[in-house]
Amino acid sequence: MQEEPKYKNIDLVEQFYKENVDLKAIQKARASKKPVTSGLEPYTGEFGKAQKKHLLNRTMMGYAHRHYKDIENLTLDQALDLIFTPETKPDPPVNDYYHEVSKEEIEAQGHVYVEPGTSYVETSEPKVPPIQRYQSFYSWLLNLQVNQSTKIHWKLVFFLHNLLPASQGTVKMLYPHYMMLFNYSFRPYHKTIKALTLDPLMLFYLNLQISQKQSPDENYARELQELFTIGKGPNAQYTEYDIIAASRVLTGWQYSGNSLINEGPIQTIFNSAKHDPGTKNFSSFYGNRTIDGKMGNDGALELDELIEMIFETQECALYLSRRLYQFFVNPIINETAEVNIIKPLSEILRNNNFQLDIPLRVLLKSEHFFDSSFYFSLIKAPTEFMFGFMKEFEFEFKNYESKGDIPAKYINQDTTNFYKYKAIDWYMNNIGLRYIYPPSVSGWPAYYQAPVYDLFWINSITISERTKIGEQFGKWGLTLGPGDSGGWVQLVIDRAKYVTSLDDPTNLESVIEQVSERLLASPMSEETRNRIKNAILDGQSESHFTELVQAYLDDPSEENKNVLSGRLEDLFAGIFKLGEFQLF
């Protein structure tokens, strides 16, 4: 039997530079673009299909026509009201992996068994959990984003995840971490920073767990300033002494080891015996601020003073405004954008208690955001690329080698998502992004590293993988796992159902036009259109295509469906492999 595929580990930065791309040419091309001079004044132009798609492309975790239908008849203000409505808090993940590992195997490995359908997020973890529980958690997290409402909430979660990355913890750490990001997406950012500081996954990831007064660990104190709040720009004038002083403030915070081992949530505690109670002096960047040392449990209060001091700097609001702009609009910030957008945006941020969604809404309603030069100007990250597939289509399960051999675990409501999103996790990883494994504490370089930015997503390996995925999705589907007696179960787009749901499915020209309009950044060239059309017809007339569609509409039998679906393979595979499909 064929072996399950292996993960490819791609260092996007290393691979980019290995291919000797001409950076000077990239910089010259980008510098030659006319700067967008409009500012944050409200957009007053047409809010039509192009504008709606642009807004959705930048606020959803992957575009789908269903999102467009939700705002099709709304004004810009009404659309933003919908988009900025928080999602309902999700139910926690449960044991949906029980077909993969038995109770006896779990217990023999020294793990605590969780009954099928029961949540495992507060389960005792005397050692690293079984791999299937990790896979279940990934699947739960990806499924929530694919099935998001037409709301920005999960995009904000990913923005925070990229800005405040943490990984490498146990499932019991991962769940509260991502729920913290979810819960704080619409709260003041300084409160998010405090919650992050006390988060068990971050305590573990950046070593506050082992920091103590005799040897303060500087990792979190450094990244708190360099990456999470102030940045590393020319006006970020904090010093090494500030990092040392901040690390002393942070001593004493840790999670309870017993709460990790035992049943129940992980508890963060302040251990005054490990806290440095001495006075902490900061540089002129922080106004020569002094944080007086405090004894006993009062030492915990120093964290609030540290956060307050950081957020009083002008550079904090400017840095956060730049990160919002780079993520949601354009990674390149020129002098015009700095003056017209970043500075006024930072004032809105400061005047609204550092609540990120408020300036972000102003930005997404602005003349600047709706400048047509930003439409489809970025390369899709693996999230937009893969989630877009999963959102846009309905799927079938097929086993081409062993007909009808579709084990119930793949299609049962309680377990299907485990297998679907375990596969999606694998495919996404192979084009450069594994959601809960950011490549470093800086996040993914496509969102911050000049001058390349989003071009990091594309190299000889990832473009080959994207082409393969497009071919698979268009024709035979993505592999989920083996059948019981043989072959492999594939997740296949229901091509016939999709096409017959269009406005004029019996007209091939109309079908190509409507499918490409939904899926592509710009219209296909005449040459590309004719090539795809000829591949679909395969020597037959357009009237023959009309007959196939009509036959299926009249009698949606399996035979008629398979004949029509076979004709449509080249339509979808052809579109998915186009360069225009890679942009958003």
65-85 pLDDT, tens digit per residue, is 999 999 999 999 999 999 999
Amino acid at 193: I
C-alpha distances (whole Å) from 576 to each of 129, 194, 353, 515, 569 are 38, 43, 43, 11, 11
Q: At 33, is the pLDDT very low, low, confident or very high (cuts 50, 70, 90)?
A: confident
Q: What's the predicted TM-score (pTM) here?
A: 0.96
Structure confidence by residue, pLDDT tens digits, 487-525: 999 999 999 999 999 999 999 999 999 999 999 988 899
User: What does the alpha-carbon distance between residue 351 and residue 494 come to, in Å, rounded to a whole number?
Assistant: 50
Q: At 1, is the pLDDT very low, low, confident or very high (cuts 50, 70, 90)?
A: very low
Asked if pLDDT for residue 105 goes beyond 50, the answer is yes
Q: At 32, is the pLDDT very low, low, confident or very high (cuts 50, 70, 90)?
A: confident
Structure confidence by residue, pLDDT tens digits, 379-406: 999 999 999 999 999 999 999 999 889 9
Structure confidence by residue, pLDDT tens digits, 255-282: 999 999 999 999 999 999 999 999 999 9
What was the pLDDT predicted at 6?
A: 62
What was the pLDDT predicted at 57?
A: 98
What was the pLDDT predicted at 7?
A: 67
What was the pLDDT predicted at 4?
A: 52
User: What does the alpha-carbon distance between residue 84 and residue 74 come to, in Å, rounded to a whole number?
Assistant: 14
Structure tokens that stand for 60 in this block: 């959803």
Computed over every residue of the chain, the mean pLDDT equals 95
Asked if pLDDT for residue 16 goes beyond 80, the answer is yes
Q: Percentage of residues in the chain with pLDDT exceeding 90?
A: 93
Over range 337-352, report the average pLDDT. 98
Residue 534: phi and psi, rounded to 5, are: -65, -35
User: What does the alpha-carbon distance between residue 351 and residue 345 come to, in Å, rounded to a whole number?
Assistant: 10
Q: What is the number of alpha carbons within 13 Å of residue 306 lying toward its C-beta? A: 28
Regarding beta strands 395-399 and 290-291, do their DSSP bridges make them parallel or antiparallel, or are they unpaired?
unpaired
Q: At 473, is the pLDDT very low, low, confident or very high (cuts 50, 70, 90)?
A: very high
